[in-house]
Amino acid sequence: MHHPPSPWRLSVAPMMEWTDRHCRWFHRQITRRARLYTVMITSGALRHGDAARHLDFDPAEHPVALQVGGSEADELAHAARLAERWGYDEIDLNCGCPSERVQRGAFGACLMREPRTVADGVKAMRDAVAIPVTVKHRIGVDDEESYGFVRDFVGTVAEAGCEVFIVHARSAWLQGLSPKDNREIPPLRYEVAHQLARDFPALTIVVNGGLAGDAAIAAQLDQVDGVMVGRAAYHDPWQLAGWDRRFFGDTAPALAREEVEEAMVAYMARQAAAGVRWPAIARHMLGLWHGTPGARRWRQLWSDHRLRDEPVARVAAIATAARLGAAARGAKADAAPQPQELGT
């Protein structure tokens, strides 16, 4: 690689309930280079709530971005200052969430209809901090599905100083579809992200939605600057294992699955001492052995409620013995789920 790869070349998507600090710590054992995102935190929760509970993270998680939801420029600027003070590498504004709760607050995907409001928010954040301010958005909302709609949105927000756009390449249908349906039913149109990359060559355009596997990622990277992977990364995290070498040209040795598991067990033991029970962490790594013999037994044991009060080292020993035993008895490799099969 002749110039250093873009810091946005590969990332794991922000996912509510899922990409908490423990999940990110886990992903960071598998890839040193991919950018990681928090779940969306509203600017109001940061202003009025317990900011430390939302913002604390482990230095090992870098590079890590805080995703915020909101629309008021002062509140967003305040959130950006907190993000910078806590050491985040980026603050990302959510303009893609279709949930009704978010629509009532008039942010998330409905902000795509208000590019001036987004531009004002971006400008306020840019004025407040030195870290990059980015925007994650959809390609349309409801009947606004023309290319001109998303092009003008990106153009207006770019004029306010946003240089990185993460494009979830489907529309948000705000009438009558649940958030889950809104991640599956509106068709993916990657060509819209590709056209944005051609029309705005100075911007960093990251494509997101339904992508998994090195071949699909590589094909997208011929057209855009980066790829963000969500559900597939969560359910089949070992996909991330080849990213540093293949997509960042980073040939430093990587951990094997066993070593990642060991690192997680040590982490869970440390967290237990700090009052975090291991099941709250282990739930994020259940896909670690996907696609290998014995994975199903391993996963069952790590999610077995009867083991919840056991020390984590003991659960690890039981789960590993069960995995190896099942493999020795010739258990079939459970196939890694495909993104379209994942019911999330």
Ligand X SMILES: Cc1cc2nc3c(=O)[nH]c(=O)nc-3n(C[C@H](O)[C@H](O)[C@H](O)COP(=O)(O)O)c2cc1C
In the numeric block, the tokens 């990587």 are attached to 254
Annotated catalytic residue within 23, 97, 110, 162: 97
CB 222 within 8 A of CB 239: no
Write the single-letter amino acid at 200.
F
Is the Cβ of residue 121 or residue 210 nearer to ligand X in the bound state?
210
Helix (H, G, I), strand (E, B) or coil at 12: strand
What is the sign, positive or negative, of the torsion defined by CA atoms of 153, 156, 157, 158?
positive
Question: Annotated catalytic, 110?
Answer: no
DSSP category for residue 185: S
Distance CA 160, CA 196 (A): 17
Touching ligand X, residues 119-138 (CB under 6 A)? 136
Residue 37's DSSP bridge partners are 65
Alpha-carbon distances of 322 from 1, 257, 294, 335, rounded to whole Å: 43, 16, 7, 18
Query: Least distance from C-beta 307 to ligand X, angstroms?
Result: 25
- The correct pick among 29, 43, 117, 208 for binding ligand X (CB under 6 A) is 208
- The correct pick among 8, 18, 26, 107 for binding ligand X (CB under 6 A) is 18
Residue 67 in the binding site for ligand X (CB under 6 A): yes
Query: Least distance from C-beta 158 to ligand X, angstroms?
Result: 19
CB 186 within 8 A of CB 235: no
Q: Pattern of binders to ligand X over 218-257, x per CB under 6 A?
A: -----------xxxx-------------------------
Is the Cβ of residue 188 or residue 327 nearer to ligand X in the bound state?
188
Q: Is 227 left (phi over 0), alpha (psi -120 to 50) or beta?
A: beta
The size of the interface with ligand X (CB under 6 A), counted in residues, is 25
- The correct pick among 29, 80, 91, 96 for binding ligand X (CB under 6 A) is 96
Stretch of 10-18, 150-158, 198-206, 263-271 lying at the interface with ligand X (CB under 6 A): 10-18
Which residues of this chain interact with ligand X, rule CB under 6 A? 13-18, 39-40, 67, 94, 96-97, 136, 168, 183, 208-211, 229-232, 339, 344
Q: Which of the residues are catalytic?
A: 97
